[in-house]
């Protein structure tokens, strides 16, 4: 079976944030991701990771917009300076938290100018943080209206254009299903570019059991293909988190 990690932005919502690390370890996870760790003391998060023997797999860039505006600016024409300031802020957090990957969010935009902006900003970021693994993730527009990176062909074209060894694909099976309707086909076409995977059931974005996505078959395919990265449980528990973790076994 693949290596599973817990997304603590989604799992264990019944617990205060700092208690979720211990709960994840007790549930059998050896790694975690936190989408936006910026609202918590960085060293306290690092302490929780160390005390519980957890690998920190992923965080998002940019930090959340406190004004309630859009999250992500990498593809938004005219906001490259904003993106680059945010990216440098993320790197300061990453120096302490030491994530395996940083997911760069594209933001809401469309058209050739947005694609050119996205490519140029990613090229800059990859050069800015040569030793840091960076990812981009197609996100379906039903969940995030207007999001620029909403299909895998655009992601592949962007990765080819940037051509940086530290920039790769983040493959979310839930989003892949909502975008393409066929997780297996999307993985067959683009999985070789992926260094990180996220999962959730459909419909409902709850536990990855039942529903329309055949996760046992997907996990078997990952094993057969030798996928060595983490698979993150990024879903909204239908009840208490522990009660829904039977799929782990």
Q: Using one digit for the tens of pLDDT, what is the confidence trace for 23-38?
A: 999 999 999 999 999 9
Reference 28, options 11, 45, 47, 10; nearest CA is 11
Number of domains comprising the chain: 1
CATH number of the structural domain spanning residue 156: 3.20.20.150
Which residues constitute the domain of residue 84? 3-248
By the 8 A CB rule, do 97 and 50 touch? no
What is the spatial distance between Cα 118 and Cα 137, in angstroms, rounded to a whole number? 13
What is the spatial distance between Cα 121 and Cα 31, in angstroms, rounded to a whole number? 29
Reference 71, options 35, 107, 103, 121; nearest CA is 107
Q: Is 113 a catalytic residue?
A: no
Two structure tokens written together for 87: 């990216």
What is the spatial distance between Cα 2 and Cα 4, in angstroms, rounded to a whole number? 6
Q: Any bridge partners for residue 101, and if so which?
A: 58, 133
Instruction: State mean pLDDT over 88-98.
Output: 97
Q: Any bridge partners for residue 144, and if so which?
A: none
What is the spatial distance between Cα 29 and Cα 247, in angstroms, rounded to a whole number? 13
H or E element: which one contains 128? helix 112-128
What is the spatial distance between Cα 99 and Cα 32, in angstroms, rounded to a whole number? 10
Q: With bands split at pLDDT 50, 70 and 90, how would you rate the model's confidence at 67?
A: low
Secondary-structure percent of the chain, ordered helix, strand, coil, rounded to 5: 45, 15, 40
3-class DSSP assignment, residue 230:
strand
Two structure tokens written together for 236: 């909204």
Q: Is 234 a catalytic residue?
A: yes
Fill in the DSSP letter of residue 248. Answer: G
Write down the catalytic residue from 33, 115, 137, 207: 137
By the 8 A CB rule, do 134 and 173 touch? no
Q: What is the mean pLDDT of the chain?
A: 96
Report CA 78 to chain centroid distance, whole Å: 25
pTM value? 0.96
Write down the catalytic residue from 33, 115, 207, 234: 234
Check pLDDT > 70 for residue 65: no
Q: What is the pLDDT of residue 37?
A: 95
Q: Any bridge partners for residue 37, and if so which?
A: none
Q: 42-59, pLDDT tens digit by residue?
A: 999 999 999 999 999 999
Which residue, chain included where needed, has tokens 């690390």?
A: 21
């Amino acid at each position: 079976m693949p290596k599973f990690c817990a997304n603590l932005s989604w799992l264990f919502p019944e617990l205060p944030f700092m208690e979720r690390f211990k709960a994840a370890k007790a549930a059998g996870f050896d790694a975690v991701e936190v989408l936006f760790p910026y609202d918590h003391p960085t060293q306290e998060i690092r302490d929780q990771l160390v005390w519980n023997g957890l690998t920190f797999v992923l965080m998002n860039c940019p930090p959340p917009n406190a004004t309630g505006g859009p999250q992500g600016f990498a593809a938004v024409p005219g906001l490259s300076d904003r993106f680059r300031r945010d990216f440098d802020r993320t790197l300061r957090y990453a120096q302490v938290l030491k994530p395996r990957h940083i997911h760069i969010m594209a933001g809401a935009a469309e058209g050739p100018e947005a694609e050119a902006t996205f490519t140029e900003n990613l090229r800059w970021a990859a050069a800015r943080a040569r030793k840091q693994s960076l990812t981009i993730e197609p996100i379906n527009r039903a969940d995030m209206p207007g999001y620029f990176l909403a299909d895998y062909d655009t992601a592949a074209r962007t990765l080819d254009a940037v051509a940086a060894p530290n920039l790769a694909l983040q493959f979310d099976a839930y989003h892949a299903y909502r975008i393409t309707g066929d997780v297996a086909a999307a993985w067959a076409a683009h999985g070789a570019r992926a260094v990180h995977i996220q999962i959730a059931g459909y419909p409902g974005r709850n536990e990855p059991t039942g529903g329309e996505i055949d996760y046992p078959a997907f996990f078997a395919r990952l094993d057969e293909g030798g996928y060595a990265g983490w698979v993150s449980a990024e879903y909204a528990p239908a009840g208490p988190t522990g009660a829904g973790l039977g799929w782990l076994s």
